[in-house]
Chain A
């Protein structure tokens, strides 16, 4: 029950990365439900209850959103901007989980109100470790306003 409300929103277009992230969560013993959105538009539809998610119960919001920067149609930074601009989503914790290590992406993300920025390592063991730490912090330690 607890885990059902404390779900994770993963915004990721690469199916390999999706699978690996889910595997890493599983390997880290994080059993929270994972909702996957495969592009920015779908993510916003889910969060705002629009498009194919019209009528979704908007009291259910992700405990943590893992957002990739490079996405088709609308990139992660734009998604972040829209999340922060909407009063029902503006306080959601957003972790940028991306391949990019570009300084400008980092700065831009924090400027737009990202809570954290994690670069996906190539080494799967390191990746798993990063996911584990992330889950521990955002799903267990971190307190959110009601």
Chain B
């Protein structure tokens, strides 16, 4: 359109329209603006909200984390609690078990058991206690040691006062009392039952006074009876031993007087036989022929042998009877002095003595001298048919012990008869070969045995004999 063509009116009109349009447009714009502001506001709000919700979220995460942690802890604690509960359950079970065990032992123990409280009153007793004391628990309940209904005695029969009962003393001192013997009157058997009591105190933490005393006791009545029986038996035994000793002493005396008689009375007739034979030989020679004189000689020889036999027997019995006096004895010196005597008695005999020096033992000097005298005398006798005699004395070790020996180079003997060697009156040679009564080695054996030792021999015919002994 063109303005020159349009009227003013028209123009105004147009303007007016424009104006209206503009106004409408502005109004719209305002509205739009408002909308935008609102929207903005909205957006801002939402942003705020978002911001807010964002932080809440973070916080929530932390809380959740914490919660998770807590849960874990709780879980652990729970497990621990469960374990503890299990343990508690187990302990309870055990406790119940031990309690029932304890109860079982208490009920069935062969020992009497009594519980006394701090005041000394009995509040429990087991079946053995009831049986031993002859009282029921009800009867004992509440009784103290000093209750006059108890009747108790000592072993010597004297009264056993209640305040000296082991339980009373333990209660007072807090210390256990052991091994007290007491006789308690048992009304059921109407007699005293003997018991051996021990009492022990029980304390609660930190308390020095016991809250309870347990007295445990054993019925020793039978044992005591047995002991009494043994005592009586011992006494009668002692009496019997005494009687027997007296008898033996009498027998011994008899034997002594017997050996005295042997020594005196048996010798007297022998002296007669020998003496009158000798007188016949000397003063009546012309009236007897050679045979008669020979018989007389035999009679004298026989009576003298019997005299020797009697003497040897007495020596043997004296050795058996002799009391030992133990001292240090130098065997070498004794052997030397004995061998010197033999040398002097037969100077013409070719003899060599080999004696180890300073052999010392402890023993009875007289008896050991008799033993060595016999052994050397044997060695001397049984080597008398040698051209030259060699006798040795010494010591050696055999099987870890010291052994002494006397050795000769004489006729020896057959080892077959070695066990006869030390018997009284046993001989391995005839009297015509070697004189002797068979008492010597029996005497030696007794002396060595008396010293707690042993003697044995080794020999070979014509190769000498060795006698060994240890003390």
Is B263 within 8 A of A20, CB to CB?
A: no
| Cα-based distance from A121 to B307 in the complex (angstroms) | 9
Check if A125 is an interface residue, CB within 8 A of chain B: yes
B263 proximity list for chain A (CB < 8 A): 99-102
Contacting A at CB under 8 A, from B156-212, are: none
* For the complex of A and B, 10 pairs with smallest distance between CB atoms: A122-B307, A124-B278, A16-B272, A124-B275, A20-B275, A99-B264, A99-B267, A122-B270, A124-B274, A100-B264
A127 proximity list for chain B (CB < 8 A): 271, 275
Check if B279 is an interface residue, CB within 8 A of chain A: yes
Q: Mark A96-109, 1 if CB is under 8 A from B, else 0.
A: 00111110000000
Is A100 within 8 A of B260, CB to CB?
A: yes
| Cα-based distance from A16 to B269 in the complex (angstroms) | 8
What's the nearest-Cβ distance from chain A to residue B319, in Å?
A: 13
Check if A33 is an interface residue, CB within 8 A of chain B: no
| Cα-based distance from A127 to B272 in the complex (angstroms) | 11
Query: Which of B264, B270, B274, B307 is close to A70, meaning CB atoms less than 8 Å apart?
Result: B264
B267 proximity list for chain A (CB < 8 A): 99, 120, 122
What's the nearest-Cβ distance from chain A to residue B267, in Å?
A: 5
Q: Mark B38-65, 1 if CB is under 8 A from A, else 0.
A: 0000000000000000000000000000
| Cα-based distance from A44 to B231 in the complex (angstroms) | 57
Query: Which of B260, B274, B276 is close to A122, meaning CB atoms less than 8 Å apart?
Result: B274
Residue of A nearest to B271 (CB): A122
A124 proximity list for chain B (CB < 8 A): 271, 274-275, 277-279, 300
A69 proximity list for chain B (CB < 8 A): 264
Contacting A at CB under 8 A, from B229-286, are: 260, 263-265, 267-272, 274-279
Give the interface size class of chain B. 20 to 34
Check if A115 is an interface residue, CB within 8 A of chain B: no
| Cα-based distance from A121 to B267 in the complex (angstroms) | 8
Contacts A99-B267, A101-B314, A102-B263: A23 and B274 contacting too (C-beta < 8 A)?
no
Query: Which of A20, A98, A100, A121 is close to B272, meaning CB atoms less than 8 Å apart?
Result: A20
Is A120 within 8 A of B271, CB to CB?
A: yes
Interface residues in chain B, defined as those with a beta carbon under 8 Å from any beta carbon in chain A? 260, 263-265, 267-272, 274-279, 300, 303-304, 306-307, 311, 314
| Cα-based distance from A98 to B314 in the complex (angstroms) | 16
What's the nearest-Cβ distance from chain B to residue A118, in Å?
A: 13
24 CB < 8 A contacts A-B:
A14-B272, A16-B268, A16-B275, A17-B272, A20-B272, A20-B276, A23-B275, A23-B279, A70-B264, A70-B265, A99-B264, A101-B314, A120-B271, A121-B271, A121-B307, A122-B270, A122-B271, A123-B274, A123-B300, A124-B271, A124-B274, A124-B278, A125-B278, A127-B271
Residue of A nearest to B307 (CB): A122
A70 proximity list for chain B (CB < 8 A): 264-265
Is B279 within 8 A of A123, CB to CB?
A: no
What's the nearest-Cβ distance from chain B to residue A70, in Å?
A: 5
User: How many A-B contacts are there with CB distance less than 8 Å?
Assistant: 61
Taking chain B's interface residues, is the majority helix, strand, or loop, or is none over half, making it mixed? helix
A120 proximity list for chain B (CB < 8 A): 267, 271
B275 proximity list for chain A (CB < 8 A): 16, 20, 23, 124, 127
What's the nearest-Cβ distance from chain B to residue A123, in Å?
A: 5
| Cα-based distance from A14 to B260 in the complex (angstroms) | 17
A17 proximity list for chain B (CB < 8 A): 268, 271-272
Q: A20-B276, A70-B265 are in contact. List 11 more A-B contacts (CB 8 A).
A: A16-B272, A17-B268, A17-B271, A23-B275, A23-B279, A99-B264, A99-B267, A100-B264, A122-B267, A124-B300, A127-B271
Residue of A nearest to B266 (CB): A99
B272 proximity list for chain A (CB < 8 A): 14, 16-17, 20
B271 proximity list for chain A (CB < 8 A): 16-17, 20, 99, 120-122, 124, 127
What's the nearest-Cβ distance from chain A to residue B280, in Å?
A: 11
B268 proximity list for chain A (CB < 8 A): 14, 16-17, 99
| Cα-based distance from A42 to B269 in the complex (angstroms) | 23
Contacting B at CB under 8 A, from A1-37, are: 14, 16-17, 20, 23
| Cα-based distance from A123 to B311 in the complex (angstroms) | 13
B303 proximity list for chain A (CB < 8 A): 122
What's the nearest-Cβ distance from chain A to residue B252, in Å?
A: 14
Is B264 within 8 A of A98, CB to CB?
A: yes
Contacting B at CB under 8 A, from A117-136, are: 120-125, 127
A23 proximity list for chain B (CB < 8 A): 275, 279
What's the nearest-Cβ distance from chain B to residue A146, in Å?
A: 37
A121 proximity list for chain B (CB < 8 A): 271, 307
| Cα-based distance from A100 to B270 in the complex (angstroms) | 14
What's the nearest-Cβ distance from chain B to residue A76, in Å?
A: 11
Chain A CB count within 10 A is highest, among B270, B271, B306, B307, for: B271
| Cα-based distance from A109 to B265 in the complex (angstroms) | 19
B314 proximity list for chain A (CB < 8 A): 101
What's the nearest-Cβ distance from chain A to residue B201, in Å?
A: 70
| Cα-based distance from A100 to B260 in the complex (angstroms) | 7
Residue of A nearest to B310 (CB): A122
B304 proximity list for chain A (CB < 8 A): 122-123
| Cα-based distance from A69 to B267 in the complex (angstroms) | 14
| Cα-based distance from A93 to B120 in the complex (angstroms) | 92
B270 proximity list for chain A (CB < 8 A): 122
Residue of B nearest to A125 (CB): B278
